[in-house]
């Protein structure tokens, strides 16, 4: 069965590079579930985080083909267990004055943020793992969702937990 794969692709920060990466994936008939691009701390490079729906075998081939692109520097496949991932959700919901307190409580529980308030609507922002955004969205649905906008996923590998071997260093 097909599954979601998250690729973190380090590329040269040049025009056309995103198109190369995206067209290489789509050329093989795979859909890009989500996409996020931004320059890294070194403005020469950008990181593209790309979520693709594909089997493992074709996924290997996609990674190998992406690696052939001259502008691609490095690719890491991030498994859900070994990475931390975030998406940003902006959601506008119906919020008449008498309902605002209830919604504010949900916002509080999820550690979200109200970023804009109108007479009968409010816009809330939440940056969290994608599953948590799904939950939040579900809970807001009864109030009436006016508009939802989610960003592509960004992810980084989990950091090492083991402490360095301090004793060995001390002994020497």
Partner 1 sequence: MELTGAQALIKSLEMCNTEVIFGLPGGCILPAYDPLLESPIRHILVRHEQGAGHMAEGYAHVTGRPGVAMVTSGPAATNMVTPLCDAYMDSIPMVCITGQVPTAAIGTDAFQECDTVGITRSVTKHNELIMNAQDIPRIVAEAFHIATTGRPGPVLIDVPKDVLQNKMQWYWPDAIDLAGYHPVMNADPMSIRRAAELILASTRPILYVGGGVLKARAAVELKDLAELCDIHVVTTLMARGAFPDDHRLALGMPGMHGNYTAITAMQQSDLLINLGARFDDRVTGKLGGFAPGAKIIHADIDPAEQGKVRAPDVSLVGDARITIEHLISAIKELLGTGSSFPDRGVWKQAISGWQENFPLTYAPQQVDGPLKPQMVMEALRDSAPEGTILASGVGQHQMWASQYWKFNEPYTWVNSGGLGTMGFSVPAAIGAKVGCPDKTVWAVDGDGCFQMTNQELTTASIERIPVKVAILNNSYLGMVRQWQEMFYEERYSEVYLSPELPDFVKLAEAMGCVGIRVDSPEEVQPAIDKANSINDRPVVVDFRTDESEKVFPMVPAGIGNDDVEVHESQRERLAADKARRIANRAW
List contacts with partner 1 (CB under 8 A).
11-12, 15-16, 19-20, 23-24, 27, 60-61, 64-65, 67-74
Give the nearest distance from C-beta 59 to partner 1 in angstroms: 12
Give me the residues paired with residue 116 across strands.
Answer: 123
Total residues found in the chain within this entry: 172
Minimum CB–partner distance for residue 68 and partner 1 (Å): 6
The residue among 10 and 90 lying less far from partner 1, judged by its C-beta, is 10
Choice between 23 and 165, CB closer to partner 1: 23
Pairing of strands 72-78, 45-54: unpaired
**Smaller CB distance to partner 1: residue 11 or 54?**
11
Rounded least distance, CB 72 to partner 1, Å: 5
Output the smallest distance, CB 49 to partner 1, in A: 17
Choice between 16 and 97, CB closer to partner 1 = 16
| 83 three-class SS | strand
Residue 8 Cβ, how far from partner 1 at the closest point, in Å?
15
User: Smaller CB distance to partner 1: residue 75 or 107?
Assistant: 75
């Amino acid at each position: 069965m097909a599954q979601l794969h998250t690729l973190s692709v380090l590329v040269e920060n040049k025009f056309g590079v995103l198109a190369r990466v995206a067209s290489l994936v789509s050329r093989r008939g795979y859909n890009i579930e989500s996409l996020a691009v931004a320059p890294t701390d070194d403005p020469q490079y950008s990181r593209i985080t790309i979520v693709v729906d594909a089997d493992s075998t074709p996924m290997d081939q996609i990674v190998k083909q992406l690696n052939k692109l001259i502008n691609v520097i490095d690719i890491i496949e991030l498994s859900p267990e070994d990475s931390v991932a975030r998406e940003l959700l902006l959601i506008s919901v119906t919020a008449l004055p008498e309902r605002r307190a209830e919604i504010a409580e949900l916002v509080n529980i999820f550690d979200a943020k109200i970023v804009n308030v109108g007479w009968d609507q409010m816009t809330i922002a939440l940056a969290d793992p994608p599953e948590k955004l799904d939950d939040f969205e579900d809970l807001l649905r009864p109030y009436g969702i006016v508009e939802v906008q989610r960003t592509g996923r960004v992810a980084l590998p989990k950091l090492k937990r083991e402490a360095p071997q301090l004793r060995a260093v001390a002994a020497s």
